[in-house]
Amino acid sequence: MDDGRRGRMKLRAYPIVMHGVSMSIGSTDPLNMDYLRKLKRLALKTKARWVSDHVCWTGVAAKNTHDLLPISYNAETLQHLCNRIRIVQEVLERPLVLENPSKYVTFRDSTMSEWEFIRQLTIETSCQLLLDVNNVYVSSVNHDFDPKGYLDSIPVDRVVQFHLAGHTDLGTHCIDTHDGVVVDNVWELFRYAYQRGIRASTLLEWDASIPEFGVVHAEVLKAKDYLRSAQVSDKMDLRTPMVYQDDHMHKPSDRLRIPQPAMYTSAEVE
Amino acid sequence: MTKMTSDRSLRDVQQWMQSMIVAPDGVHSETHSRDDDTAIEEFAVMTIDNMILPSRKLTSQQRMEVYANAYYARLLECLCDEFPALVSLLGQETFDVFASEYLQSYPSQSYTLADLGNHFGRFLEDDRDHAIDGERLEQSHAWVDLLVDLAELERTYSEVFSGPGIETSEALNAEAISAIPPEQVGIIRLVPAPCVKLLVLKTRAHEYTIAVRKGVKPLPTVPKSAATFLVITRINYVVRTIRVEPDEFHLLQKLVDDVCLEQAIASVAEQSSLSEEQLANCLSGWFQKWAMDRLFVGIKPQVGF
């Protein structure tokens, strides 16, 4: 619900973090101040530990595609985002937490890597990071880069949360579908991030084709196992190249795979 | 005038990309979403190849298609979730055609997907002329009436579900009304629950809609034309559909419109075929029912009250 009334019933027992897909921090349209004020109000009511969104834009010219659209990584875009992040942080009166989204195109206009761009964002605005390890992996496949190099560049002290999720490997590219188990390569990256010194809470995203609770829970518990193993394998060579294990990838079904976000809450009707 | 590659701004790039991914025929197309014609002309030199790098396994165009395919797939999925009865009645393929045209006419302008279906009923109504078969005029109009009714009803369900409610507040009960001095009962105005919506349909679309949502098999036959008066509300976060008689609906409408009790009842009495005694009996039953259904939450303070 728009103002979180229903959710608030269950909030007293658990710490809350707020994660959105509509801030459109990278858009060249004006920031939606009404939306930001609602976010702030909800964050105060729920005593949210932080408010996060994505390094992306969702629409322009007053339209919303409801997708996490990619930005070009160059000085103009960096300046634009820094200005807007500062405004958002002033309105929310707290550091903004930004997540790296999965990306499917590379702009010719880009003059720096995604990880350089994100690093600069944190330096110039003091924003914090939500490190989606699956998104790093998906983008590394789609953009032909080494995901460990990406993680090496992330400022460890800025990360407040990890995201993990399943994706769909279409052979030619990966799509961030949140509809299956986390693949081994992503788990390995997660362990690598921990070994690099990133200490943050972990959230598993499984919001399409959701299985029984026990299956989801077991996947969450795997995160603990990987962190435990990371603690004992301190002699491991951190720079071991990634080995792509295609046989463990989530294979596509006939349904058209829709990149996240694709969430709509249907009304409960009697 | 077209922009050269060297001086395109971030805004140019975003307008170009958006126009590409919302184009109804995909990124191959020469035609584009109506609102973006200007952008397309202005950025004619911004081709996919000179904007987007290929990857090892995909061309620039294939990479853009990931976003273009996702745009309609994502929003159609949301509309299917919001309008399941329309999907059932029309079939998936026909629904997708309507929904795709709707998205081109009414692209989302809201930060929330909850607003995506806002204008679907109006779109179907506006599209009535295209759907009318001159040789079967009556059936055609009845068919469109049903489509519009289903869209309005399912949209109302969404709004009532997502909007403000009374789960954490008290509803107006009979004791509160009986505590009002008799000489002042007539001038009171009732405060409707914020989740209460009144809906007049041309068909019994609600019976079909509820059957679809409950997964009833076989589904009831397609509803025939019949004026239908509904109250849609929400109790304990579940949306409820209450069918009422025309007189009861008339009174509710007056009260929701902030007419005082006395005038509202007088208005009903004037139009109703019920005798004074019959109406009095009905009123008693209606108020008890409304209290149970939590349709009102308070009494507006009157001067000197």
Interface pTM (ipTM) of the complex? Answer: 0.87
- C-beta atoms of B17 and A69 within 8 A: yes
Closest chain A residue by Cα to residue B103 = A65
The verdict on pTM exceeding 0.90 is no
Q: CB of B202 within 8 A of CB of B149? A: yes
Strand-pair partners of B300:
B189
Which pLDDT does position B37 carry in this prediction?
54
Residue B76 zone, left/alpha/beta (φ > 0; ψ -120 to 50; rest): alpha
| In chain B, residues 30-49 whose CB comes closer than 8 Å to chain A | 35-36, 39
Residue A13 has pLDDT above 90, yes or no: no
Q: Tell me which of A246 and A137 has the higher pLDDT.
A: A137
Which pLDDT does position B45 carry in this prediction?
73
- C-beta atoms of A5 and B167 within 8 A: yes
Which residue of B74, B153, B154, B231 is the best one to mutate when testing the A interface, meaning the one whose CB has the most A CBs within 10 A? Answer: B74
- C-beta atoms of A62 and B109 within 8 A: yes
Q: CB of B198 within 8 A of CB of B253? A: yes
**What is the pLDDT confidence band of residue A78, given thresholds at 50, 70 and 90?**
very high
User: What does the pLDDT average to over A50-54?
Assistant: 98
User: What does the pLDDT average to over A34-39?
Assistant: 97
Q: Give the integer Cα–Cα distance in Å for B214 and B155.
A: 17
Which pLDDT does position A262 carry in this prediction?
61
DSSP string, B89-107: HH-HHHHHHHHHHHHHHS-
CA neighbor of B293 nearest in space, from B224, B221, B229, B238: B238
Which residue of A6, A105, A176, A244 is the best one to mutate when testing the B interface, meaning the one whose CB has the most B CBs within 10 A? Answer: A105
pLDDT tens-digit readout, B131-171 = 666 666 667 788 889 999 999 999 999 999 999 999 988 88
Taking CA atoms, B34 is separated from B103, B128, B152, B296, in Å, by 11, 20, 25, 45
Establish, for the pair of chains A and B, how many residue pairs have beta carbons separated by less than 8 Å: 169
Minimum mean pLDDT range among A58-62, B38-42, B91-95 = B38-42
User: What does the pLDDT average to over B162-181?
Assistant: 85
Which pLDDT does position B38 carry in this prediction?
55
Minimum mean pLDDT range among A61-65, B123-127, B157-161, B197-201 = B123-127
Chain A interface includes B3 (CB < 8 A): no
Three-state secondary-structure class, residue B247:
helix
- Average pLDDT over all residues of chain B: 88
**What is the pLDDT confidence band of residue B10, given thresholds at 50, 70 and 90?**
very high
Name residue, tokens 């193993």.
A229
Q: What percent of chain A has pLDDT over 90?
A: 76
SS (H, E, C) chain A: CCCCHHHHCCCCCCCCCEECCCCCCCCCCCCCHHHHHHHHHHHHHHCCCCEEEECCECCCCCCCCCCCECCCCCHHHHHHHHHHHHHHHHHHCCCEEEECCCCCCEECCCCCCHHHHHHHHHHHHCCEEEEEHHHHHHHHHHHCCCHHHHHHHCCHHHEEEEEEECCEECCCCEECCCCCCCCHHHHHHHHHHHHCCCCCEEEEECCCCCCCHHHHHHHHHHHHHHHHHHHHCCCCCCCCCCCCCHHHCCCCCCCCCCCCCCCCCCCCEC
pLDDT tens-digit readout, B287-303 = 999 999 999 999 987 65
Chain A interface includes B95 (CB < 8 A): no
Q: Give the integer Cα–Cα distance in Å for A256 and A253.
A: 8
Residue B211 has pLDDT above 70, yes or no: yes
Give residues with Cβ within 8 angstroms of A206, minimum separation 6.
A165, A166, A178, A179, A180, A216, A219
DSSP class of residue B212 equals H
Three-state secondary-structure class, residue B286:
helix
Which pLDDT does position B228 carry in this prediction?
96
User: What does the pLDDT average to over A36-65?
Assistant: 97
| In chain B, residues 139-168 whose CB comes closer than 8 Å to chain A | 157-158, 160-165, 167-168
Q: Give the integer Cα–Cα distance in Å for A181 and A179.
A: 7
pLDDT tens-digit readout, A96-108 = 999 999 999 999 9
Q: Which two tokens stand for residue B159?
A: 């709004």
Q: Give the integer Cα–Cα distance in Å for B73 and B61.
A: 18
Q: Which two tokens stand for residue A205?
A: 């995203």
Instruction: List the Cα angle A10/A203/A251 in 5-degree steps.
Output: 120
Name residue, tokens 């059957």.
B211
- C-beta atoms of B108 and A63 within 8 A: yes
Three-state secondary-structure class, residue B238:
strand
Which pLDDT does position B96 carry in this prediction?
96
Which pLDDT does position A185 carry in this prediction?
97
**What is the pLDDT confidence band of residue A249, given thresholds at 50, 70 and 90?**
very low
Which pLDDT does position A258 carry in this prediction?
75
Which pLDDT does position A254 carry in this prediction?
42
Which pLDDT does position B4 carry in this prediction?
42
Which of A231-245, B39-53, B219-233 holds the top average pLDDT?
B219-233
| In chain B, residues 239-258 whose CB comes closer than 8 Å to chain A | 239-241
Q: For residue B86, how far is the Cα from the chain centroid?
A: 12
pLDDT tens-digit readout, B19-32 = 999 998 877 644 44
Give residues with Cβ within 8 angstroms of B232, minimum separation 6.
B153, B156, B157, B160, B196, B197, B198, B199, B239, B240, B241, B242
